[in-house]
Amino acid sequence: MSHFKHFVLVSAVILINAQFLMADITRVEQDDPSITYSGNWYTNGSESNSASSAALTNTSGSRLVFTFTGTAVTWIGIRDPWSGLANVVLDGIFQKVDTWGPTTAYQVPLFTASALSIGPHTLSIEITHERDSKGVGSWVWVDAFDVENGAPINGGITASVGRVEDNSPALVYSGAWYASTNVVHSGGSATLAVDPGATVTLNFTGTGVDWITYRDEWSGLARVFLDGNLVAEVDTYLSPWAARTTLYRIEGLPPGDHSLAIQATGTHNQSAKGAWVWVDAFDVEQ
């Protein structure tokens, strides 16, 4: 075989492999039923947006939750001088994203996460009404999401019976939560928060649930909500420290769907040196 023919053959194989490996991208518009909004959001109908529509808000605490399967996700939005900061949490991993830009640019990738498992996944975007030193506003825009090798999931994700780790897509985080990687934790990781109002919510199907946590001298007070109702305020302080402890248990629920929320208060008892609240895992009972 001549060198030229060999080159053509190899090039053709490379081209075929490249086409085979190309990711399948699904565009999910901001009004898709897989996206749930809370707080005050507004609609912008500019033709420069994807599908000529986008959502925006600058109200602190406003949030959206997007559930999907896939190996990567990209948040598409707008950058401009009036855009601000947002808290982004993907499967329990927190990141603060700055959407500011020196000029107005539409359909811009604002956040991308790749090399994900096929799914499912939960992505939340929460507005903090903050801006960086260059910004003149705190607006955050959601135009669309691009999902690689997957699809949106309508109705959110609900945990079934068994262990639910801190990075489960059945958990929805609000506020600033931080990851801790340590072999003492269930699954090797846990999340923790100290800001008042920081909340993690578990949607589950079962008759009971255990909150598994880490406790030490820097741990504070937390509120527990069941199906939206405050049921307890618990002290997570402990000396000496202990990992994988069942701090709160709920039993005897009617079979069906429920929600459990753990909220940091930013307060602690007189002996504690801090007000951290930890979420390591949950055990859902049949």
pLDDT in tens, 112-143: 999 999 989 999 999 999 999 999 999 999 99
Question: Does residue 14 sit within a domain?
Answer: no
Q: Provide the pLDDT for residue 1.
A: 52
Interatomic CA distance for residues 45 and 56, integer angstroms? 11
Same domain, 40 and 60: yes
Q: Provide the pLDDT for residue 19.
A: 38
Same domain, 109 and 167: no
Domain boundary among 122, 152, 182: 152
Same domain, 200 and 245: yes
238: pLDDT strictly greater than 60: yes
Q: For residue range 206-233, what is the model confidence (pLDDT) as tens digits? A: 999 999 999 999 999 999 999 999 999 9
**Quick check: bond before 102 cis, omega within 30?**
no
Question: Does residue 1 sit within a domain?
Answer: no
Beta bridge partners of residue 284, listed in sequence order: 162, 209
Q: Per this entry, what is the length of the chain?
A: 286
Question: Does residue 7 sit within a domain?
Answer: no
Count CA within 13 A, CB hemisphere, residue 76: 18
Q: Which residue has the higher pLDDT, 185 or 175?
A: 185
Same domain, 188 and 281: yes
Q: For residue range 61-94, what is the model confidence (pLDDT) as tens digits? A: 999 999 999 999 999 999 999 999 999 999 989 9
Tell me which residue range forms the domain holding 239: 162-285
Q: Provide the pLDDT for residue 13.
A: 42
Same domain, 166 and 136: no
Percent of the chain with pLDDT over 70: 92
Q: For residue range 135-169, what is the model confidence (pLDDT) as tens digits? A: 999 999 999 999 999 999 999 999 999 999 999 99
Q: For residue range 259-282, what is the model confidence (pLDDT) as tens digits? A: 999 999 999 999 999 999 999 999
Question: Does residue 17 sit within a domain?
Answer: no
Same domain, 115 and 235: no
Same domain, 145 and 166: no
Same domain, 93 and 63: yes
pTM for the predicted model, two decimal places = 0.85
**Quick check: bond before 120 cis, omega within 30?**
yes
Domain boundary among 120, 152, 184: 152
Question: Does residue 10 sit within a domain?
Answer: no
| Domains in the chain, number | 2
Same domain, 31 and 83: yes
Q: Provide the pLDDT for residue 11.
A: 46
Beta bridge partners of residue 87, listed in sequence order: 96, 126
Interatomic CA distance for residues 58 and 143, integer angstroms? 15
18: pLDDT strictly greater than 60: no
- The two tokens of residue 69 are 């399967």
Q: Provide the pLDDT for residue 119.
A: 82
Same domain, 31 and 135: yes
Read off the CATH number of the domain in which 223 is found: 2.60.120.260
Same domain, 116 and 26: yes
Domain boundary among 132, 152, 172: 152
7: pLDDT strictly greater than 80: no
